[in-house]
Amino acid sequence: MNPAVIQLAYLFSCVLFIAGFMQLSRPKTAKRGNLLGASGMLLAIVVTLLDKQIVSFEIIFVGLLVGTALGIFMALTTPMTAMPQMVGLLNGFGGAASALVTGAVLIEMLSLGNPLTLQFRIATAASSLIGTLTLFGSLVAAGKLQGFIEERPIRYKGEQGIKLLVLFVCLFLGSMLTARPDTLWTYWALLGVSALLGVLLTAPIGGADMPVVICLMNSYSGLAGAATGFVLSNTALIIAGSLVGASGIILTQIMCKAMNRSLANVLLGGFGELKEDTSLAGTIYAGRVKSADPEEVAMLLEAASRVVLVPGYGLAVAQAQYAVRDLYNYLTSLGIEVDFAIHPVAGRMPGHMSVLLAEVDIPYEKLKEIGEINPEFEQVDVAIVVGANDVVNPLANTDPNSPIAGMPILEVYKAKTVVVIKRSLSPGFAGVPNPLFAYDNTLMLFADAKQALQAVLASLKELKA
């Protein structure tokens, strides 16, 4: 096919990607946006298959077939609670593919004896480095989220120094590859050291910081694609790659802002290391924590006219989204107004809670962002915190020395009564005690989230019977 036609088709694909992103800005049109993106991709693939550079199709079709099967299998079998791992893994696939394509093209060019431009050489180094880093960083992140790898930060002596050293080796090999691309071993060495860097960078980062890591890997997978675009001098790759790169950067910023921490602070790792400060917890909680049983909570709810549920990662762990739905439906049927307060970093990836609640048919109008719900808590009769801790910790507002100081929190303590469903008084990910548990208007319901919600619902139904 005429190369100009192919280029125009690529341009059209990119227009579809951008239009798709624009449609994704509203829940109503989001599905169409995704389909636009998918058709853009289909067009790009079909047009590429018509390129006259291609002499044989068997390898391509084997690859497409296996990849499609793998993609369908992953997409259909992954439960919504495991979405962060799944997205993490797919980021890694994209990064790996970019690094591999770059290697294949480099070997081709060398064996054909083609001259290599500076642009080609720099892009080759960049794509190999970023792509491999993305794969291994994502594998560690997914492993932590799935529980295969220790979720707490993995620390060791001289950690920052070793990371810095490996980064320098990466950059050194990258410049070697740029200077002498005909020495192919530098490509392989660069892959190896970038892989090591990916692992070293992610291992010391704790589980609750994974949203940031996944956003960053998302961004890298796009940038690796854009770098591959410079390798091939292909605008479709550059445009699509930079769109994804930009998207990941924005999400990373949003996540960091929602924790009032800098990206550097997250990346250096170690946040959420287990350092038990029982003395402080002792003075804060001493004799002031009131616990309640499901019957008391049911009575509170019966008398309430406005209820807000605050879900956190614990909801996902306990698979309590269906129990939440049942309680929501019953309360709504009693004429009680029920909303959900969603903190940006609740869960293990941006928007994690929204997806879990959407899965159980909670209408999305009921999901309130932090700025929207905070001024309303004073009118709330009962706020129920399910599996969240740091995001409702008033220390963030009151103690400037706390690790979570300045983090925007959901101000549940303003509600008339706060019910915290939690197994124990153990600290959240940040490792600090939560004075909210000892507030006069707080009741602790010590139990598994799912069982507690079911018990509350059962008592409430008994009251009404």
Partner 1 sequence: MDVFIGLLTVFVLAMFVGFEVITKIPPILHTPLMSGSNAISGITIIGAILSAGTKLTMLTTVLSLLAVMLAMANVVGGFLITHRMLRMFRTKGRA
Scan residues 221-280 and list those touching partner 1 (CB under 8 A): 221-222, 224-226, 228-251, 254
Residues 60/49, Cβ–Cβ less than 8 Å: yes
Which listed residue (209, 339, 390, 448) is catalytic? 390
Quick check: 17 binds partner 1 (CB under 8 A)? yes
Q: State the nearest-atom distance from the C-beta of 205 to partner 1, in Å.
A: 18
Q: State the nearest-atom distance from the C-beta of 86 to partner 1, in Å.
A: 6
Separation between Cα atoms, residue 202 and residue 225, nearest integer Å: 21
Q: Any catalytic annotation for residue 390? A: yes
Binding-site size for partner 1 (CB under 8 A) equals: 118
Which residue's CB is nearer to partner 1, number 36 or number 385?
36
Quick check: 214 binds partner 1 (CB under 8 A)? yes
Quick check: 114 binds partner 1 (CB under 8 A)? no
Quick check: 79 binds partner 1 (CB under 8 A)? no
Q: State the nearest-atom distance from the C-beta of 73 to partner 1, in Å.
A: 8
What residues between 285 and 344 interact with partner 1 by CB under 8 A? 342, 344
Separation between Cα atoms, residue 147 and residue 449, nearest integer Å: 20
Q: State the nearest-atom distance from the C-beta of 214 to partner 1, in Å.
A: 7
Which residue's CB is nearer to partner 1, number 39 or number 265?
39
Which residue's CB is nearer to partner 1, number 25 or number 305?
25
Quick check: 358 binds partner 1 (CB under 8 A)? yes
Q: State the nearest-atom distance from the C-beta of 112 to partner 1, in Å.
A: 8
Which residue's CB is nearer to partner 1, number 104 or number 303?
104
Which residue's CB is nearer to partner 1, number 121 or number 422?
121
- Residues marked active site are found at 390
